[in-house]
Amino acid sequence: MNLDQLRAQIDLLDEKILSLLSERGRLAASIGKVKQKDNAAQFVPSREKQILERMTSSNPGPLSAESVAAVYEQIIAACRVLEIPLGIAYLGPPGTFCHLAAKRKFGPDAAMLPFSNIDDVFMTVEKREASFGMVPVENSIAGVERTTLDRFVGSTVHICAECYVDIQHNLLSKGTREEIKRVYSHPQALHQCRNWLRTNLPEAETIEVSSTARAAQMAAAEAGSAAIGTELAASLYDLPILTAEIQDRPDNRTRFLVIGQEDAQPSGKDKTSLMFAVKHRAGSLWEALGVLHRYKINMTMIESRPTQETPWEYVFFADVQGHSREEPLPEALEALAGQTLFVRVLGSYPEAE
């Protein structure tokens, strides 16, 4: 076949794909009605993970498994909104990496609710004024987001899901690189691009602001200014990308948590987030961690944070593999409770790739 004939074949396939997507959307809307009638969970990450695993494992090629997963993640997100309209609170303003994570997880049609701080995201979900919230918890270079961990103390929300976003910093400006006198961005973004800035914009002043999105807002309004921000921010604030991916390290990723009122069902490959405190005596933490070792529970993260009530006393946050409803974790948690002042499951949810 010649080029025109091949393109005609693709056009026919596209029509069939669109018809099937529309049928899937109608079924999703019907599922939403059943969920509302039965008062069933709105967001079921375990089911979504099973769909992704089924499609990638049965993929005949030539598309890669990663490409198939990316396509189906967007299909699932688009159909989810047809089931039940969702409001997603996130750390704003529009154009942040948190906004990007929320759009990827819940799709472009979900109602996005930006807030200026993490505390307000939690509060909105706690008051049920948003279906879910998206908050950062850990960066592969900068470490944990302490504000997010601290906010779990005393909160009623659950962790429903997690996702990872590759951090790609871009230089955004309406002017040329030679015209740039000031570069705005979040302190973390400026730090993660410092070598590139030193080499390529040695004379430009770097100015810290509250977020990469706020930086884009300021660069859009000021001549001679640039921002380090997301591709999403460039689109939202009509800023050309002068140079893409200026971060010093390519392995920069941020982990985000979806918080809500619902517990996630087991998916077969899950992660559980815990919060616990131990007695203020020698060996108490070692004894607590010994429980996890005894039950062969793999811990992937641990972080300590000072309590709000008593100076020099700490609570510990840990991520372990497994679901709190599937052995051996329930038995291990019961044993852990005997070695700690308290232990609380913040959530069990499918482990993201």
Active-site hit among 148, 230, 254, 272 = 254
Number of other residues whose CB lies within 10 A of the CB of residue 36: 12
Q: 174-208 b/e with 16+ CB inside 10 Å = b?
A: bbeeeebebbbbbebbbebbeebbeeebeebebee
Q: CA-to-CA distance for 74 and 89, rounded, in angstroms?
A: 19
Q: 155, 126 in Cβ contact below 8 A?
A: yes
Q: Two tokens at 147?
A: 């504000």
Is 254 assigned a catalytic role? yes
Query: What is the C-alpha separation between 287 and 340, in angstroms, rounded?
Result: 9
Ramachandran area for residue 296 (φ above 0: left; ψ -120 to 50: alpha; else beta): left
Residue 25's Cα: distance from chain center in Å? 25
Residue identified by tokens 């009638």 is: 37
What phi and psi values does residue 28 have, to the nearest 5 degrees?
Answer: -60, -40
Which residue in the list 256, 276, 316, 317 is annotated as catalytic?
256
The C-alpha atoms of residue 133 and residue 260 are separated, in whole angstroms, by: 6
Strands 170-172 and 241-243: antiparallel
Residue numbers annotated as active site: 254, 256
